[in-house]
Amino acid sequence: MKEASHSILAEPITVGLTRKCLACNKRFALEHLRTAEHPTLGHLKTYQCKHCGVTFNFATRLPDGAL
């Protein structure tokens, strides 16, 4: 399983609406794998692209100054 180089991202609105993969840009490609609790980031949702296999971790909130 490949990991995206950027391990944690703010969740883009487009993920919920179109499930568009940030790596290959295919729509409706991302599948929700799991949601984990993170002490500072809130919920950490992991998605995997059905087409290219890249996984993305999206935080529901990011601490100030992140990224």
56 DSSP β-pair partners: 47
Q: Is 21 helix (H, G, I), strand (E, B) or coil?
A: coil
| Shortest distance, position 61 Cβ to Zn ion, whole Å | 25
Contacts for 17 with CB less than 8 Å, ≥ 6 apart: none
Structure tokens at 67: 């990224």
Judged by beta carbon, residue 9 or residue 23, the one nearer Zn ion is 23
Quick one: 41 or 49, whose CB is closer to Zn ion? 49
Size of the site for Zn ion (CB under 5 A): 6
Q: Are 64 and 57 in contact (CB under 8 A)?
A: no
Compose the 30-59 pattern: x for residues touching Zn ion by CB under 5 A, - for all others: -------------------x-xx-------
Minimum distance of Zn ion from residue 29's CB (angstroms): 5
